Amino acid sequence: MNDRRSTGGRADGGERMRDTVAHDAIVTEGLGVRYGEVRALSGVTVRIRAGEITGLVGVNGSGKSSMLSAVLERVPHEGTVRILGRTPGKARRAGLVASVPQAEAVDWEFPVTVRDVVTTGRYGRMGVLRIARKPDREAVEEAIALLGLEHLADRQIGELSGGQRKRAFVARAIAQDAQLMLLDEPFAGVDRTSEAAIGEVLRGLRDRGRSVVIVHHDLSGVAELVDRVLLLQRGRLLHHGPPAETLTPERIAEAFGGGRPGRADLGQSEMHRVEPGPEEHER
């Protein structure tokens, strides 16, 4: 395969691409999330375009991770969600959406290799017996190559650095060959090599017409990576548009300098201690 890193994905799946290209990647109306008494997201109505990289930006507890969880219906929510014109459940069953959460519930001592982890991204296509066919093996090897993990493919996953582990789980999502990828803080705690590799792959996916939604903590980095930004504060959508229009000093001050965080600004980990969502059982 020629220049795998520049392609950012497999050439198959064309029928699904034609079937979904006319739809927005995500459409929400009145999307809201509560964790017990804590309102994490409130009345978010937005259309996220297909074929673009969209960044979710805001302080800890502004609702970014809760929005991704609600879009995937991993937490109870108010309002409606459509993914590529379908309900989230139908989109997942059709293999149209892949996700990379902040942290994986993984036993790092378990004897599985990087290749084994990436192969789990193909399980939805393997049938009940999960027997890998040639297209599955090719997708796995291509995803491993895209993330620069060839020399680590047979290494036990727990032996990798934090950045390398993150790249492995991004590769797993790539192997799924979904039209929409949702990533929650993929650059948090990773080295520069991993950050560059992941960023290059996400741009390649976008260039092939795939849709990417990413929670990002670095304002300068997000402006360089994404096509559009959703700026959140205290669970509400402040602005949605290109980085140059959204990440202005005035809007950044409004989103990040709004005073001392209240209870609604609890971080993701704190909110999950209040009322953990079912996503923990899906990982």
pLDDT digit string, tens, across residues 212-255:
999 988 887 888 999 999 999 999 999 999 999 999 999 999 99
| Cα 32 from Cα 214, distance rounded (Å) | 19
Residue 16: its pLDDT value, please? 43
Quick one: average pLDDT of 128-151? 91
Higher-confidence position of 33 and 269: 33
Contact of 268 with 66, CB cutoff 8 Å: yes
Model confidence band, residue 258 (pLDDT cutoffs 50, 70, 90): low
Residue 22: its pLDDT value, please? 58
Total length of the chain: 283
> Is the confidence at residue 107, as pLDDT, over 60?
yes
Higher-confidence position of 28 and 188: 28
Residue 266: its pLDDT value, please? 34
Residue 10: its pLDDT value, please? 44
Model confidence band, residue 276 (pLDDT cutoffs 50, 70, 90): very low
Quote the Cα angle for 123-272-108, to 5°.
45
Residue 233: its pLDDT value, please? 94
Quick one: average pLDDT of 49-67? 94
> Is the confidence at residue 126, as pLDDT, over 90?
no
Quick one: average pLDDT of 120-137? 86
Model confidence band, residue 20 (pLDDT cutoffs 50, 70, 90): very low
| Cα 50 from Cα 17, distance rounded (Å) | 11
